[in-house]
Amino acid sequence: MRALLPAFLAALTAAGTPGEHLDVVGHARTPPLSEPALDLALADDNTIVVLSAQAVALYRWGRDGLTLDSRQLLPGPASPVRSPGGILTPLDESGAFWALTSTASSAALYRIEGHQLRLVSEASALPWAGSPEGLRYHPGTHWIEGRIASLGPGPFLAVEPGLAVERDATLRGSGQASEGGALRVGSSLASLGDGLLAASSADAPGSEDTLLLVETTGEGWHVARTFPVEGAIRALAARGAERTWRLVAAVEEAGGAFHLLILDLAREP
Amino acid sequence: VSWRLGVAAALALLGLARLSPAALGPCYGGRLTAGVPRIVLGSNAAQPWVAREAGDALVGRLVHEGLVRLAPEGFPLPALAARWSAAAGGREWTLEIDPNARLHDETPIVAADAERSLRRFLRSRSPAAVRLAAALDGGAAFRKGATALPGVDAIDARRVTLRLLEPLALPLAPLASPAAAVTGARGQGAGPFVPVLPVPGSRLALNAFGSHVRGRPLLDGLTLVALPNPEERRAALRAGRLDVVAGEAGVGRLTATLLLVLDPTRRPFDRPSRRDAVAAALERETLAALIPGAAPARGLLAPHLLSVESEWPATRAPITGLLALTVADDVPPLLSQRIVASLTALGLRTTATAVDSAVARTARAPAKLILWSPEVAEPGLALRELASLAPVPRLASESLDAADAEIDPDRRRALLVEADSVLRADRALVPLCVFPSSFAARDGVRGVRLDAAGTLVLEDAWIQP
């Protein structure tokens, strides 16, 4: 495990609900980001794509802290949106990903080349697995519109491959029945794989949020662990395999500044 | 806002509702119903007007938008103007219209709309318009009827230039007046909500404006319901018929000043000693204790606008005679009765007459009791507005002029404190208490707040799913 800052141990206590064997084995907090984050994606454990209302940025997390490698303004004129939303698709093997914000008129395809971001293409909608028409934002809002096979017509507050949060904050999974075992979550979502996902909470506004680690079971959702977080979780991204994951959260502080919380999770046998 | 709270519950004086980040939210969708003491639409619902008091500005703030807004420190923030720049040593200010600025009929706003709206504003009875006109090249003559106004010029489709006679501190602050809102040639507004169903005096339905310059409001729409009786509003909130109630104990901030205005040109207050005696006889702590959330006044303005330290005369020389006291109808009866009792105890046989609050402000009377909140929450403009309520000593005018000419914020604030002190020293304006504006909302309603002038702000309101 890479050295993580012990000073941040207090920021995230592991005093959540009694879990099975899922633990945070390391965590760190970055310095403030230069702009509010709408979504995150991980190219590798230490390369983080941050989507804001105006731009997509590529950060590197390492011994020197958080370094901005590249930042590209989103194409086209931006429309004002009071509470904007944004989606990044997971990166493919070539380092390409799509980005869409509710302030932009089109989706944009980027590729990571070395330490740089390059705009490759644009489209009127965000290509999304199981959505023949792609996804768009309802004008002026952060509602995601577009039918997704097995998840319904939307609109959604958040989408992840095989997962969505409906407007009433209900978590939907492509393998889950719509009745029974309903779970309300916030509008930040990340799939960890292996039947595990991370979500922000549907709590009332306040100075704290809760990170939920949720397992899918035959009966529905099971909240395996909860962790209090100082601030509001605005975006999540994760990568990993089998029993270890890196989870990154964009957290909005009470004063409006954003930072990233970097967590290493492990499921003990 | 009606101040007849008459309730024992203490206000939770939380200042501005803290805009904590929401774990879930803000969320779009839904409608709110807000109960307010009254709905003032002006002579033409589509036109901005000069609000008489904070509550009256509510509809204007919902329907209309100006070129700039004010930050809490009094500095301008972008609204329909995206940016501005100064030239000619601070005598020329060019504002650039936001390319996303639209009227309610989706027409893009151009500089000609801004120029036409500024000309309308400069001839209005807004105290901020009076101040700006005095500072603009040709502004004073324009207010008197001249057609030419060299001080306001749409130099191209997107930019309008203001030309001042002299550099001025915070020259754009008057543009934050609700009366300075930009409208289309047919009166179309550009505010966050579009009025759709006005029932004059009792109800107003509004829909979210999808192309508002700061983005569509979070709500789909809202309905304002006029309920003058606070008990009725409270009952409607409890019964779930209202989601938000103005003037109800809940979240509040001190925004208004209870003022006794004495006319120094008329008997019995033509003698400074008599004005001193009245000022000394009215016990501010006792008066403030009668209203939940109120505080004894130290200066003329609410403390968040201008914080001052003050001393009051202690001598209570008796005065004899008759006094006709004009009382604005929004002054709580508990207070006016106590003040009449104090004046009577001083030796003045006092007769109080209640009049409409707007009439009270302009009425000529030897003494009047009014609840005052500023048109624009900027201390320099607020003190000038107050100075127009009574004949003021030349020294006060000089202090205000000096503050207007001072660009350095700290030195300007010191000059404003001095102006406040001079205005009070003459005892023509006797501040008694500072009053809270307040609102209550049902559980699940988020993002409602009060602006610095005490007006309910609903454009960021949302409903938790």
Q: ipTM for the complex?
A: 0.86
Torsion of CA B254, B256, B259, B261, to 10 degrees: 150
pLDDT, tens digit (0-9, with 9 covering 90-100), for B176-203 = 999 999 999 988 899 999 998 778 778 9
Mean pLDDT across B31-46:
76
Task: Give the best residue of B18, B19, B28 to mutate against chain A (max A CB count within 10 A).
Answer: B28
Question: What are the tens digits of pLDDT across the range B19-37?
Answer: 345 568 799 999 999 999 8
Percent of chain B with pLDDT over 70: 91
Distance CA B150, CA B162 (A): 9
The answer, yes or no, to whether residue A204 has pLDDT greater than 80, is: no
pLDDT given for residue B310 in this prediction: 76
Extended beta strands in A52-139, E state: 55-62, 65-73, 86-88, 96-101, 107-113, 116-123, 126-128, 131-137
Q: Which residues of B touch A204 (CB under 8 A)?
A: 22-23, 464
Does the pLDDT of residue B73 top 90, yes or no? Answer: no
Residue B56's pLDDT is what?
64
* Range of lowest pLDDT (A120-134, A212-226, B102-116, B120-134): A212-226
* 3-class SS of residue B122: helix
In degrees and rounded to multiples of 5, residue B261 shows phi and psi of: -105, 115
Give CA B96 to chain center in angstroms: 26
In one letter, which amino acid is B190?
A
List all residues 6 or more positions away from B343 whose beta carbon is below 8 Å from its beta carbon: B278, B281, B323, B325, B350
Instruction: Give the pLDDT mean for A21-39.
Output: 92
| Pairwise CA distance, residues B397 & A17, whole Å | 66
> Out of A81, A186, A206, whose CB is closest to B20?
A206
Angle, helix B394-405 to helix B379-387, in steps of 10 degrees:
160
Cβ separation A232–B28 shorter than 8 A: no
| Calpha distance B78→B68 (Å, rounded) | 5
- From chain B, pick out residues whose CB is under 8 angstroms from the CB of A206: 20, 22-23
Looking at residue A71, its pLDDT comes to 97
Q: Considering chain B, what is the average pLDDT of its residues?
A: 88
pLDDT tens sequence across B367-419: 999 999 999 999 999 999 999 988 888 888 899 999 999 989 999 999 999 99
Pick the range with the lowest mean pLDDT from A104-108, A204-208, A263-267: A204-208
Residue A180 pLDDT: 53
pTM above 0.90?
no
Check whether B88 has a pLDDT greater than 70: yes
Measured in angstroms, the CA of A15 and the nearest CA of chain B are apart by: 19
Q: What is the pLDDT of residues A88-128, one digit of tens each?
A: 999 999 999 999 999 998 999 999 999 999 999 999 999 99
Residue B249 has pLDDT above 70, yes or no: yes
Question: Which of A140, A169, A231 is closest, CB to CB, to B21?
Answer: A231
**What's the pLDDT at A147?**
95
DSSP letter for each residue of B52-121: SSGGGHHHHHHH---SEEE-TTS-EEESSEEEEEEEGGGTEEEEEE-TT-B-TTSPBP-HHHHHHHHHHH
- In whole angstroms, give the CA distance from residue B143 to residue B168: 19
Flag if A140 and B100 touch (Cβ within 8 Å).
no
| Distance, CA of B270 to CA of B428 (rounded, Å) | 10
pLDDT given for residue B251 in this prediction: 84
Cβ–Cβ < 8 Å for A40, A49? yes
Is residue B350 scored above 90 in pLDDT?
Answer: yes
Give pLDDT, residue B217: 97
Mutation for A interface: B16, B18, B19, B24, most A CBs within 10 A: B24
Angstrom distance (rounded) from CA B152 to CA B118: 8
Residue holding tokens 């009449």? B340
Residue B459 has pLDDT above 50, yes or no: yes
- Answer positive or negative: Cα dihedral of B179, B185, B191, B193: positive
Sorting pLDDT into bands at 50, 70 and 90, what band is B316? low
Contacts of A257 in chain B (CB under 8 A): none
B207 touches chain A (CB under 8 A): no
Whole-angstrom CA distances from B81 to A53, A77, A136, B194, B197 are: 20, 17, 29, 20, 29
State whether residue B460 sits within 8 Å of chain A by CB.
yes
The mean per-residue pLDDT over the stretch A214-231 comes to 88
B207 sits in the region (left: phi over 0; alpha: psi -120 to 50; else beta) called beta
Cβ of B216 under 8 Å from any chain A Cβ? yes
Q: What is the DSSP letter of B292?
A: T
Token couple for B387: 């100075």
What is the token pair recorded at B175? 């543009």
Cβ distance of A256 and B21 shorter than 8 Å: yes
User: Least CB-CB distance to B215: which of A81, A185, A201?
Assistant: A81
User: pLDDT tens for residues A134-183?
Assistant: 999 999 999 999 999 989 999 999 999 999 999 999 999 986 655 556 89
- State how far the Cα of A144 lies from the Cα of A172, in Å rounded to an integer: 14
Report the alpha-carbon distance of residue B219 to residue B406 in Å, rounded.
Answer: 42
Tokens encoding B128: 């901020």
- Taking a C-beta distance cutoff of 8 angstroms, is the pair B458, B34 a contact? yes
The residue in chain A having the minimum alpha-carbon distance to the alpha carbon of residue B443 is: A204
Give the distance from residue B54's alpha carbon to the nearest chain A alpha carbon, in angstroms: 25
Long-range contacts of A241-244 (CB under 8 A, 24+ apart): A241/A193, A241/A194, A242/A194, A243/A267, A243/A268, A243/A269, A244/A25
10 Å Cβ neighbour count for B436?
26
The rounded distance, in Å, linking the Cα atoms of A237 and A42 is 6
